[in-house]
Amino acid sequence: MKLRIGQIKVLPKKGKVQDNFCLLMEILHRREESLDVVITPECFLDGYIAREKEVTEKDLFSYSLDPGNSPYGEEIKKWAKKENCWVILGCTRQEEKKVYNSALVFNRAGNLVGWYDKIHCQTHDRKFSPGSRLPVFSSDFGFFGVMICADRRWPETVRCLALKGARIIFNPTFGMHDERNLAMMRTRSYESEIFIVFTHPRQALVTGPEGEIITNETNKSRKLVVTEINLDRVDRVRAGECSHLRDLRQEVYQW
């Protein structure tokens, strides 16, 4: 099955939620081709304000969204429904007295079907409450997963999502995007036989189930990078003679 993915590749303004949302919608409205999925960088709406040293956990509430009561969420729902497109939106999410580094997931019908909360929170991310689960989402193109930025450093993140049936992982991020990261993302895709869509303000990277680079766009003038992939390739690789997932020896992996 073919999938057209649009990666938002632009640096958002620190703490300017309204400005960043308007920028996102401007990019989406100006696109020239139909898309199946749109994904933003990590904490795109607030410009990842948590990285600023003077910003406290309490301050983050001023930049956070309540998914059930957000005008930005409502506009995304309308756009997703009108364009028949999934949206993975990076933001700071509030729930009761906690804030999370999250990715909201909207389906083609414009429904908010859930969200993913970053589980590996280090340094400035300790201002957030860490997530506690690795869900897979059901879609018209099969199961997919979401991880956020540093989550990719732990191979268990990708492996767990792959074992749960995901054939593609959407990865909003804001951090490291150097040669080391390129090697890591190729390895993560190869070892778990999966597509990974790494979406950074400065880089749109897509790696495939055999560890290949499909897209690696760093041109600052490209604000929306579109890549078409065929998810059937995952099935073929996983059905091969040397499938990593099929030949796992989980009974001996103990520590």
Asked, for residue 255, whether it belongs to a domain, the answer is no
Whole domain around residue 57: which residue ranges? 2-240
Task: Give the pLDDT of residue 68.
Answer: 87
Name 199's bridge partners: 172, 204
CB atoms within 10 A of CB 127: 19
Q: Could you tell me the pTM of the whole model? A: 0.97
Asked, for residue 247, whether it belongs to a domain, the answer is no
Asked, for residue 99, whether it belongs to a domain, the answer is yes
Asked, for residue 196, whether it belongs to a domain, the answer is yes
Q: Which residue has the tokens 């804030």?
A: 99
Tokens of 220: 């600052």
Task: Give the pLDDT of residue 204.
Answer: 98
**96-115: buried (b, 16+ CB within 10 Å) or exposed (e) per residue?**
eeebbbbbbbbbbebebeeb
18 by DSSP, 3-state: which? helix
Asked, for residue 152, whether it belongs to a domain, the answer is yes
112 by DSSP, 3-state: which? strand
Asked, for residue 252, whether it belongs to a domain, the answer is no
Asked, for residue 131, whether it belongs to a domain, the answer is yes
CATH of the domain at 198: 3.60.110.10
Q: How many domains does the chain have?
A: 1
Q: What is the C-alpha to C-alpha distance for residues 118 and 131, in angstroms, rounded to an integer? A: 5
Asked, for residue 251, whether it belongs to a domain, the answer is no
pLDDT along the chain (255 residues), means of 10: 97 98 96 94 98 96 94 97 98 96 98 98 97 98 98 98 98 95 98 98 98 97 97 98 94 90
